[in-house]
A and B are shown apart, each in its own frame.
Chain A
Amino acid sequence: MKKNIIFTLGIILFSISIGFSQAKKPTLMVIPSDVWCNQNGYMTTYDNQGSITNVPDYKRAFQENAEVLQVISQINGLMSERGFPLKNMESAIKTLESNAAEDNMRTSKNSGSEVNESPIDALKKVAKADIIIQLTWTVNKTGPKKSISFNLQGLDAYTDKQVATAVGTGEPSFSAETSVLLSEAVLAHMDNFTETLQTHFDDMFENGREIIVRIQTWDDWDGDLETEYGDEGEELGYIIENWLDDNTVKGRYNTTDMTENMALFEQVRMPLFNDKGRAIDARRFVKELSDYLKSPPFSIPNKLVIKGLGRATLILGGK
C-alpha cells in the first residue's frame, strides 16, 4: 500500500516536472550594424598580419552617439514588455572590461597562482548573444524633407540565418527632429519584428532547435572518419549520420561537408527536451553522441567544445 502511494506520488511529481519544463531561453542583444558604424565614422583599423582591417568601434559609438542609445533603449523597453528583456551591449562591454581587470589582478591566497586562461578562453571573451539584433538606419534628405530608412535584422549567431526582420522607410517630414522620426520608426516596426521572431520560436517548438554540429579529429589520432567499425565494416562518418538520423527531430539535418578528417552538419534539428523532460542545448545534445562514440565497439576518446546554445564541435581522438 505504502509502495503504491510512493509510486503514485513519484509519477505525479515526474509529470509536473515535465509539464513545467521550459526550453533554454535564447539571449538577444541589439548591436549597430557595420554599415551604420562605417557611415557614422565609428570604425577602427588594425594590422591583421599585413592586411589593414576595419572593424566597428562599438565602445566609441555608445560613448559618443546619443541616438544609438535612444533607439536601443526603446527597443529594449518594448522587448521587455513582451517578456523578453535583451542584453544591453554597452553594459556587456563594460562588464567584460571590469572582469578582465579583476582577473588580471586576482591571485590565489594560498599559492599566489593566477587564474587559468588559455588563448581560446581569451578569444571567447567578447560580448555575445544567441540572437543578434542588427540595427541600421539612415536619414534620407530631399530638400527640406527628412525621412528615416530603418532596418532591424534578427540573426541567429550559430546558424547565421536571419530569423526575424523589420524594414521600411518612414513618412517624410518637414519639421520633425531626427530623434522623433527614429522613435516613430521603432514604434512602427517593432510589431513586425516581434511577429517574425514569434514565427521563428513557433517553428523551433514544433521542429526543434536548429544547430550546427562539427566533427573534427586531432592530428595525433590513428583513426579517421573513414575507419570501419563492426561486423558490417561501416565507416565512422556513416555511423555518426545514423546517430543523427535516430536522434534529431524527424531525422532532419544536412551533411554539408564530410572528409576523412572533418564533417559539418547544418540545419540539425535537435529536440528541446531530453528523455527526462529536461531542457537541453547543443552541448547536452552532442554530449550523447560523445558518450556513444566513447563506448564500445568504437571506444573513441573525444573532446566536446561548444559555442552558446546552438553550436557544438566534437574533436575525436583525445581530450
Chain B
Amino acid sequence: MKLKFKYYFLLVCLISFGFNANAQWKKNKANEDTKIWRYDIECQGIAKKGAKLVKVWSYSKNPKHAIAQAMKNAVHGIIFKGYAGGGQGCTTLNALVTDYDVAEEHEAFFDAFFEDGGEYLKYVTAATDGSIAPGDRLKISKREYKIGVIVSVQTDQLRKRLEKEGVVRALNSGF
C-alpha cells in the first residue's frame, strides 16, 4: 500500500514537472518570436492623445501564449518596427528607435524592460477586455495559431522613458 502511494506520488510529480517545463518552453518560444520580430502590427484607428491603437498578430502553438505575448509585441513593435498607414485615418508611424546600434548599446536595458512582467506593461493596455474577435483567431498550420489582439500603447510616455534612458533623442535636446 505504502509502495503504491509512493509510486503515484512520483508519477504526479513527474507529470506536473512535465507540464511546467512544457509551459515554460512555450513561453520562451513566444519570447524568442518577439526577439526575432515574428509578429505583425497594424494601426486600428486614431486613439486618444498620446496613444496608438494597434492590432498585433502573434504566432504560437498555444493561443493563450499568443494573447499573453501580444502586449509585449505591441510595445516592441512601436519601439522597433512602426507600422504602415492605411484605413481608419491611420498615418504611417516610423519606429521610435531607428538606429539599431543605439539599441544594441542599451541591450541590458531592453532585456530588463521586456522581461516577463517587466516595465513594458506600464505602457500598454488591452483595448477589448482581452476578448478576441472570431476572425482574429486563425489556425495557420496543424500546430500553429495566429492571434490578433487590439491594444493601446501609450507612445508619448514610452518615448519619454526612452528619451530619459538616452535611447532616443528628445526634440529639444541640444537646445
Task: Mark A residues whose CB is within 8 Å of B.
Answer: 22-26, 78, 81-84, 166, 168, 170-171, 184-185, 187-189, 191-192, 194-195, 197-198, 201-202, 205
Contacts and interface: CB of A to CB of B under 8 A. Distances in A.
Interface in B35-78: 45-47, 49-50
Contact of B87 (A26, A171, A184, A191): A171
A22 B175 contact: yes
B172 A84 contact: yes
A82 B89 contact: no
Contact of A25 (B49, B87, B175): B175
A197 B171 contact: yes
Contacts of B97: none
A81 B46 contact: no
B121 interface: no
Interface residues of B, number: 22
B42 to A, nearest CB: 15
B91 A188 contact: yes
Contacts, number: 54
A24 B175 CA distance: 6
Contact of B171 (A22, A188, A189, A198): A198
A82 B88 contact: no
A92 B88 CA distance: 37
19 contacts: A24-B175, A25-B172, A81-B50, A82-B171, A83-B171, A168-B85, A171-B45, A171-B87, A188-B90, A191-B91, A191-B93, A191-B155, A192-B91, A194-B171, A197-B171, A198-B171, A201-B171, A201-B174, A205-B174
A192 B93 CA distance: 7
Contact of B91 (A22, A25, A82, A189): A189
Chain A CB within 10 Å, residue with most, of B46, B50, B92: B46
B169 interface: yes
Nearest to A166: B91
Contacts of B155: 191
Contact of A83 (B45, B47, B172): B172
Interface of B: 45-47, 49-50, 85, 87-94, 155-156, 169-172, 174-175
Contacts of A202: 169
Contacts of B90: 188
A283 B37 CA distance: 50
Contacts of B89: 170-171, 184-185, 188
A191 B43 CA distance: 14
Nearest to A81: B156
B122 to A, nearest CB: 18
A187 B174 contact: no
Contacts of B46: 184, 187-188
Contacts of B49: 78, 187
Given A81-B156, A188-B46, A188-B91, 13 more contacts: A22-B175, A23-B174, A26-B175, A83-B170, A83-B171, A166-B91, A168-B91, A184-B89, A191-B93, A192-B93, A195-B94, A198-B171, A202-B169
Nearest to A170: B89
Contacts of A187: 46-47, 49
A79 to B, nearest CB: 8
Contacts of B92: 192
Nearest to B52: A191
Contacts of A78: 49
A84 B174 contact: no
Contacts of A25: 172, 175
Given A171-B88, A184-B89, A189-B91, A22 B174 contact: yes
A187 B155 CA distance: 12
Nearest to B90: A188
A30 B170 CA distance: 21
